[in-house]
Structure 1
């Protein structure tokens, strides 16, 4: 059991058999009455956010969660297949649970996978990945009307905006959170 004194950003708690992550919290001590903790929680199963208030010292459950290193194998049409690096067991995470993270996975890439009650829940991508430009139009000199960028399709199928000097076949570094171009990588 976890007490409200243990609350911090990123802490995972369980309320009514549902795992939540604390996104923000504020300890409030009014002049009259007992202290309380106001929190903003993210539901780890659905991704939705709720506001919840707890009395100071109130106890909440600790979810049965673990993180394992898994290797991405392939996409089977309905989900992403990963292999546990220690037991070689394969698990599938459905497309809906992955949201837009699947566009940054390359075959053989190792990621941290979050499990809740033995079921895969989510993956943790690195902050930036290096991917190859599969398709982009050649940049036209002097074309700065469009903000000096053009769309480019990466080897995984994700489309991002890149500067005009980036060509097809270039290796680029991409921020996985904002989907922004960070720079070219030497091959």
Structure 2
């Protein structure tokens, strides 16, 4: 028998299944009524793991959801071409190919050999799970003079080896390796 989750127990980063579609909870907010007889409501901000759509919906605290048949498979990124993005399953060494819609903008953070995980739903790949941070080389960095504060924050633009452009501190130079948050896509430090 499948495990059932109450709406009130669903928290950020948990997954659940509704109408035979897997979702990831991005945020949850519980509203407890002050009047007697009112129902506790749970407002979930959730992402459809099949198509990437993000939306909010309210549920009664006692609404039940199934736990999805999700599996996380360790993979390494190989390359991308006209057929899609290719990953090597680290468990059985099979090559898995995902289309551009499934991979989304994760390619901005992936270099050859990068280790990550794939969401597998009912045996098929449906998305990528990036690590919290990635380390990338700075391919180009604007020149930032001493005391340059035209941007107001003491930062400059830099293009990373994947083509992603981010703001970095003035002391970062071309060729350096930086650490980037995959959630915010912001500089977090030198690697």
TM-score range, shorter chain: 0.7 to 0.9
**TM-score, length-scaled by structure 1:** 0.84
2:178 to 165, 172, 175: 172
Range moving further from structure 2, 132-141 or 2-11: 2-11
Aligned CA-pair RMSD? 2.4
1:18 to 10, 18, 21: 21
- Establish whether residue 81 from structure 1 lines up as the match of residue 89 from structure 2: no
Distance 2:190 2:181 in 1: 12
- Establish whether residue 8 from structure 1 lines up as the match of residue 10 from structure 2: yes
CA separation of 1:173 and 1:60: change in aligned 2, threshold 3 A: closer
Preserved contact between residue 4 and residue 54 of structure 1 (Cα < 8 Å): no
User: Per-residue CA shift, 1:108-167, capped at 9, x if unaligned?
Assistant: 111121111122122222222211111123333342222322211111111111122211
CA separation of 1:55 and 1:146: change in aligned 2, threshold 3 A: closer
Preserved contact between residue 36 and residue 55 of structure 1 (Cα < 8 Å): yes
Note the C-alpha offset of 1:19.
1.1
In the alignment of these two chains, the number of paired residues is: 183
**Unaligned residue ranges in structure 2 (runs of 5+):** none
Distance 1:96 1:14 in 2: 21
Matched with 1:53 is 59
**TM-score, length-scaled by structure 2:** 0.82
Distance 1:60 1:12 in 2: 10
**Unaligned residue ranges in structure 1 (runs of 5+):** none
Preserved contact between residue 26 and residue 39 of structure 1 (Cα < 8 Å): yes
